[in-house]
Amino acid sequence: MTEIVSLEALAARILPGQSLAIPLENAGVSMAATAALIEAGVTGLRLVCVPTSGMQADLLIGAGAVSAVETSAVSLGEAGGAPRFTAAVRARQFALSDSTCPAVLAGLLAAQKGVPFMPIAGIIGSDLLKVRPDWKVIDSPVGGGKVVVVPAIAPDVALFHAPEADRAGNIRIGRHRELAAMAYAAKSTLVTVERIVDRDLLATEDSAAGVLPALYVDAVAIAERGAWPLPLWDEYERDRAEVSRYAAMARTEDGFRAYLSAFLSHREQVA
């Protein structure tokens, strides 16, 4: 049964060294839980970006919470590159597994289906095969030439933010089916939400179509404006000025530390 817990209790379920699946920036990023993780001093996280990340990954990397990253990209979008990610890659501060969007999603699908790998097309001939020895090129057993098989990705925890949950723990995710893919593949799913509603989100066919059932959700915590400064669909837009301010400050270690301190203080005030 899904538990409704405090933000701090939810973050405490993410343990050092675990693999953590996080979504792309417009799909519902839990910046509130990110702040709580940093406050708790968690270390050794192995991020699985589904399939990309930005400010969330950059904050966790800059705070020293990350030991490995599998991703298709880490970028702040129109605000430029992710400065702490770039600096950490250059300093070889964590293990980086370059990937592609289809490969990440295929790996999650394999885990969901309980199979060890998933075949995909489109990577043969790519230089990525030189740096991903765990991706194998095989002859298709049903004809059609060669395919690449990527291993299953089964994160320890999936973490995201959504507009609302009901009392049973059903989560409205709308059209963001990658959030469902994360939850199906992960061993545990933790969600922060703007609010908890009394109505049953699975009550009708229309409402249920955009809902992740509580069966796949371990715990929920309320975090108002929990994705800020990133966007949350139908709720609020990206705070472009804030993301740009982060991008400028995080170019240096001292600037990053100053931003992080202010960010954590802001999240405490919101909570």
Is residue 111 situated within a structural domain?
no
Cβ neighbours around 44 below 10 Å, total = 14
Retrieve residue 149's tokens: 């098989």
Enclosing domain of residue 130: 120-151
The answer to whether residues 139 and 255 belong to one domain is: no
pLDDT tens for the chain, 271 residues: list them: 899 999 999 999 999 999 999 999 999 999 999 999 999 999 999 999 999 999 999 999 999 999 999 999 999 999 999 999 999 999 999 999 999 999 999 999 999 999 999 999 888 989 999 999 999 999 999 988 899 999 999 999 999 999 999 999 999 999 999 999 999 999 999 999 999 999 999 999 988 999 999 999 999 999 999 999 999 999 999 999 999 999 999 999 999 999 999 999 988 877 6
Task: Confirm if 45 and 20 have CB atoms less than 8 A apart.
Answer: yes
The answer to whether residues 84 and 175 belong to one domain is: yes
**What CATH code is carried by the domain that includes residue 233?**
3.40.1080.10
The answer to whether residues 142 and 196 belong to one domain is: no
Amino acid identity of 128?
L
Is residue 108 situated within a structural domain?
no
The answer to whether residues 64 and 178 belong to one domain is: yes
Q: What is the pLDDT of residues 113-135, one digit of tens each?
A: 999 999 998 889 899 999 999 99
H/E run at residue 8: helix 7-11
Residue 32 pLDDT: 97
The answer to whether residues 235 and 261 belong to one domain is: yes
Q: What is the pLDDT of residues 166-207, one digit of tens each?
A: 999 999 999 999 999 999 999 999 999 999 999 999 999 988
Task: Confirm if 66 and 45 have CB atoms less than 8 A apart.
Answer: yes
The answer to whether residues 83 and 58 belong to one domain is: yes
pTM above 0.85, yes or no: yes
